[in-house]
Amino acid sequence: MSKVKAKVTCFIDNSLRNEGDEFEYNGPENGNVEILDGTEFEKTEVKVEDTPVAKQKWTPKNKTVASSAD
């Protein structure tokens, strides 16, 4: 865990952190905080999975042309 200081008001670890707050943080690199104790942020890889595209579950009905009853 790294001891960090908030640069701006931000929401980190389910808490609202005000500018100047010091707290322990063990997450990915964050531009809203600066490290105080000299340790590095943990390196994390973000895995993106391909999600299958849903097929259309319905078919559009045929458009009917309204005829005038003259």
Is residue 51 in some structural domain?
A: no
Q: Which domain holds residue 8?
A: 2-35
In a domain, 21, yes or no: yes
**Assigned domain for 66 exists:** no
- Is 11 inside any structural domain? yes
Mean pLDDT for all residues in the chain: 80
Name which of 32-36, 47-51, 66-70 the model is least confident about.
Answer: 66-70
pLDDT value at 17 more than 70: yes
Given this model, what pLDDT does residue 28 score?
Answer: 83
In a domain, 15, yes or no: yes
Residue 12 lies in a domain: yes
Which two structure tokens, joined as six digits, stand for 65? 């042309």
Mean pLDDT of 30-59: 75
Domain-located, residue 62: no
As for how many domains the chain has, the answer is: 1
Cα dist from 30 to 23, 35, 68, whole Å: 13, 10, 66
pLDDT at 68: 64
